[in-house]
Amino acid sequence: MKLTWLGHSGFRLEIEGAVILIDPWLSGNPMFPAAQRAEALAGATHVLLTHGHGDHSADTLAIAKELDIPVVGIYDTIAFWQAKEGISGVGFNKGGTVDLGGAKVTMVPASHSSSLDGPEGPVYAGTESGYMIAGEGHVIYLSGDTTIMADMGWMGEYHRPDIGILCAGGHFTMDMKAAAFAAKKYFDFKTVIPCHYRTFPLLEQSAEVLAAGLPGVDVIEPQVMEPITL
C-alpha cells in the first residue's frame, strides 16, 4: 500500500486494486508542483471527496471527466453532479460502506461545514464526512476536516484503525495539540500522518507538537509527491 501526499488534504492512495485520489486540489494549490500533475493522476480509479469546500473539491469534476472515473462521496453532492455535470459517481452516506477495487470504504462523521461555490455565494453540498478505509491488512482513518468529536470514541472502538490521516493545521480544523489529544484518547494508531497544514501561513507549519504528544506512535510528516509505503 502506498500513500502519496498531494499537498494540503490531497492524497493518492494505492490500495488493493484501487488508486484513490483523496480531495485532490491541485490547481492553485501552492504546495503542489503543477509539472507533476500527470504523475499524480496516473492510473487513478476513483476520486474520494470528504466535503465540498474548494480546497478539497475544486479539481474533482475536471479530473473525473478527464479520466472518466467515478467520484465517491456524500449522496447529495454526488447526485447533484451526476444530474448537472454528467459524471459517474458513487453517492452514499454515513454508516454506509462501498467497495472500491477491493478496498472497503465506510463513511463516518466529521464536524466542520460543507458548501460549493455558487454564483450568489455558498450552496448546500451535503454534510462533511470522514472515512474508514480497510484493505491490505490495515484500516485507515481519514478524518476529513474536523474538530475533536465524542463520535471518535465509538469510531475507534468499532473500526479499530491502525493508521490515522488527521487534519491538524488549526484555525479551520483541529491543530496539532488537539489532533494528538484525539489520537491518544480515542484511537490506538501505529502510524499518524498529518494534513491540512503548511499550505498557508495561517496554518501550522510543523508536526513537532503532534509527534511529541504521541510517544510510541510513528508520526510521519509527509513530503509532497514522495510515496510512503505502509
Q: What is the DSSP letter of 89?
A: E
Output the pLDDT for position 17.
97
Q: Which three-class secondary structure state does DSSP give residue 64?
A: helix
CB atoms within 10 A of CB 154: 12
pTM attached to this predicted model: 0.97
Output the pLDDT for position 18.
98
Rg value, the chain, Cα = 16
Instruction: List, for residues 94-134, the tens digit of each pLDDT value.
Output: 999 999 999 999 999 999 999 999 888 898 999 999 999 99
| CA–centroid distance for 9 within its chain | 6
Which residue positions in the chain have pLDDT lower than 50? none
CA distance 103 to 125: 25
Per-position DSSP letters for 156-190, written without gaps between them: HHHH--SEEEEE--SSSS--HHHHHHHHHHH---S
Write out the three cell numbers for 12. Answer: 493518492
CA distance 88 to 61: 10
Q: Which residues contact 128 (CB under 8 A, 6 or more apart)?
A: 50, 51, 110, 111, 112, 113, 114, 144, 145, 146
Output the pLDDT for position 120.
87
- Residue range 2-223 forms a domain whose CATH class is alpha beta
